[in-house]
């Protein structure tokens, strides 16, 4: 589902940054085929090759499940909340939520400066993206890597540099007391475990009421997972956070051992089974799937973990 681009073999930050282009092109392909509606993705990705049906279904399940969880949180809090999307890449969630009538107090997106500078540029060049973040009483402030609009803030920062993350969020008026979602889609796995653990500890200690939504690989200890990892290693790609993706239990304990009150991880096979039956029936008719087994294998090697430091959020489920 998260194909690793060839240049990830370089094993440096550029390779990690390139994973955003891969995720964005996969999303655009699935959107073009009608898996879900996203009128904004094509402003970030101009064209793409056709991907395999199981990849398209994987991106569909991931996107729909995450948006549905975020919407539930926004509805429970009546929008009196903030969202921090870490390693956001070219994600369009802010605009899609707005189209669904859901507005939050603040929406933050963090990524490496070289990613946010490209995102700034695409937003500037596209009227619908600009309109989405505009507000009549508020100017949009912009520099090379950062954009501050009314309730949308795009911040260029290395997530491994906690001091800078904290400073930049504070400069952008982050609130520590209101309900907050932290969202990470295939991000923590690219970080050294010491650094990702420090980040998770800081979040739970600093913010009063958080739901963390983490989408990532899992079951890397079984045969299929080992083959996935070995293929990557042979190409020189070592996923630095792979140990936390060993199984559903390690995905949960990475949070609880850093002080989170609770965590629950579900693989995408189980998430798929919780999606509305009429939607499953619609998307399974989009493309023929020759290798059902491959889809099942992929679904059992990705998961969504929900973690909270406020028991109120244990009720947010698909
Ligand atoms: C696989 S992409 C996913 C992008 C987006 N979350 C999505 O699902 O479409 C991983 C993203 O995490 C970002 N990322 C990884 N490590 C990071 C770090 N240390 N600091 C900032 N961003 C990071 C990458 O630049 C990239 O945009």
Using a CB cutoff of 8 Å and minimum separation of 24, what contacts does 93-100 make?
93/66, 93/67, 93/183, 94/132, 94/133, 94/152, 95/39, 95/40, 95/128, 95/129, 95/132, 96/38, 96/40, 96/67, 97/67, 97/70, 97/71, 98/132, 99/39, 100/71
Give me the pLDDT at residue 234, please: 64
- Inside any domain, residue 274: yes
SS3 assignment, position 148:
strand
Q: Whose CA is nearest to atom 25 of ligand 1?
A: 17
- Inside any domain, residue 133: yes
Give me the pLDDT at residue 291, please: 83
Give me the pLDDT at residue 15, please: 84
Query: How does pLDDT run across 214-227, given as a tens digit for each residue?
Result: 999 999 889 988 88
Q: Average the pLDDT over 114-130 and give the result.
A: 97
Residue 23 Cα: closest atom of ligand 1: 9
**How far is residue 262's CA from residue 23's CA, in Å, rounded to a whole number?**
29
Which of 11, 18, 20, 213 has most ligand 1 atoms within 8 Å of CB, for mutation? 20
- Inside any domain, residue 18: yes
Residue 91 Cα: closest atom of ligand 1: 9
Ramachandran region of residue 263, left (φ > 0), alpha (ψ -120 to 50) or beta? Answer: beta
Which of 190, 193, 216 has most ligand 1 atoms within 8 Å of CB, for mutation? 190
* C-alpha separations of 15 from 2, 6, 88 in Å: 14, 8, 16
- Inside any domain, residue 135: yes
| Contact assessment for residue 187 and residue 86, using Cβ atoms and an 8 Å cutoff | yes
Give the residue from 217, 203, 289 showing the smallest Cα distance to 251. Answer: 217
- Please give the residue range of the domain that contains residue 272: 6-315
In the predicted structure, residue 27 carries a pLDDT above the cut 70: yes
Which of 112, 164, 213, 240 has most ligand 1 atoms within 8 Å of CB, for mutation? 112
Q: Average the pLDDT over 44-72 and give the result.
A: 95
Give me the pLDDT at residue 238, please: 66
Give me the pLDDT at residue 14, please: 86
Residue 195 Cα: closest atom of ligand 1: 19
| Contact assessment for residue 142 and residue 135, using Cβ atoms and an 8 Å cutoff | no
Query: How does pLDDT run across 85-107, given as a tens digit for each residue?
Result: 999 999 999 999 999 999 999 99
Q: Which residues are annotated as a binding site?
A: 62, 87, 158-159, 185
| Contact assessment for residue 70 and residue 93, using Cβ atoms and an 8 Å cutoff | yes
Q: ∠16-267-99 over CA atoms, to 5°?
A: 70
φ and ψ at 175, to 5 degrees?
A: -110, 140
- Inside any domain, residue 118: yes
Residue 62 Cα: closest atom of ligand 1: 8
What's the CATH code of the domain at 66? 3.40.50.150
| Contact assessment for residue 56 and residue 287, using Cβ atoms and an 8 Å cutoff | yes
Q: Ligand 1 centroid vs 281 CA: distance in angstroms?
A: 32
Q: Residue 296 burial (CB < 10 Å; 0-12/13-18/19+)?
A: middle
| Contact assessment for residue 73 and residue 211, using Cβ atoms and an 8 Å cutoff | yes
- Inside any domain, residue 22: yes
Q: Ligand 1 centroid vs 214 CA: distance in angstroms?
A: 12
Q: Ligand 1 centroid vs 20 CA: distance in angstroms?
A: 6
Task: Provide residues with CB under 6 Å of ligand 1.
Answer: 2, 16-17, 19-20, 23, 87-89, 91, 111-112, 115, 158-160, 185-187, 190-191
Confidence tier at 109 by pLDDT (50, 70, 90): very high
**For the chain, what percent of residues have pLDDT higher than 90?**
85
Query: How does pLDDT run across 138-184, given as a tens digit for each residue?
Result: 999 999 999 999 999 999 999 999 999 999 999 999 999 999 999 99
- Inside any domain, residue 1: no
Q: Whose CA is nearest to atom 12 of ligand 1?
A: 87
Domain count, the chain: 1
Which of 89, 145, 146 has most ligand 1 atoms within 8 Å of CB, for mutation? 89
Q: Average the pLDDT over 282-296 and give the result.
A: 93
| Contact assessment for residue 165 and residue 157, using Cβ atoms and an 8 Å cutoff | yes
Using a CB cutoff of 8 Å and minimum separation of 24, what contacts does 251-257 make?
251/214, 251/216, 251/218, 251/303, 251/305, 252/305, 252/307, 254/196, 254/197, 254/200, 255/200, 255/204, 255/212, 255/305, 255/307, 256/307, 257/197
């Amino acid at each position: 589902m998260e194909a690793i681009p060839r240049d990830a073999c370089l094993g440096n930050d550029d390779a990690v940054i390139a994973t955003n282009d891969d995720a964005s092109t996969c999303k655009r392909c699935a959107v073009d085929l009608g898996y879900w509606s996203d009128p904004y993705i094509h402003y970030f990705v101009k064209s793409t090759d056709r991907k395999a049906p199981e990849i398209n279904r994987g991106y569909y399940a991931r996107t729909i499940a995450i948006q549905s969880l975020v919407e539930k949180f926004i509805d429970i809090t009546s929008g009196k909340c903030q969202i921090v999307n870490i390693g956001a890449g070219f994600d369009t969630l802010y605009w899609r939520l707005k189209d669904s009538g859901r507005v939050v107090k603040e929406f933050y997106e963090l990524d490496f400066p070289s990613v946010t500078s490209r995102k700034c540029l695409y937003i500037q060049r596209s009227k619908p993206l600009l309109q989405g973040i505009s507000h009549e009483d508020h100017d949009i402030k912009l520099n090379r890597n950062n954009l501050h609009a009314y309730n949308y803030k795009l911040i260029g920062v290395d997530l491994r540099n906690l001091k800078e993350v904290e400073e930049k969020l504070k400069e952008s008026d982050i609130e520590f007391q209101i309900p907050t979602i932290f969202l990470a889609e295939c991000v923590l796995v690219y970080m050294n475990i010491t650094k990702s653990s420090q980040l998770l500890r800081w979040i739970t200690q600093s913010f009063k009421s958080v739901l963390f939504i983490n989408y990532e690989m899992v079951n890397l200890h079984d045969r299929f997972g080992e083959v996935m990892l070995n293929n990557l290693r042979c190409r020189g790609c070592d996923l630095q956070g792979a140990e936390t993706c060993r199984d559903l239990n390690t995905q949960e304990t990475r949070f609880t051992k850093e002080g989170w009150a609770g965590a629950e991880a579900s693989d995408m096979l189980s998430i798929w089974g919780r999606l509305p039956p009429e939607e499953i029936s619609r998307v399974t008719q989009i493309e023929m799937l020759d290798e059902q087994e491959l889809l099942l294998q992929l679904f059992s090697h990705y998961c969504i973990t929900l973690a909270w430091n406020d028991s109120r959020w244990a009720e947010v489920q698909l």
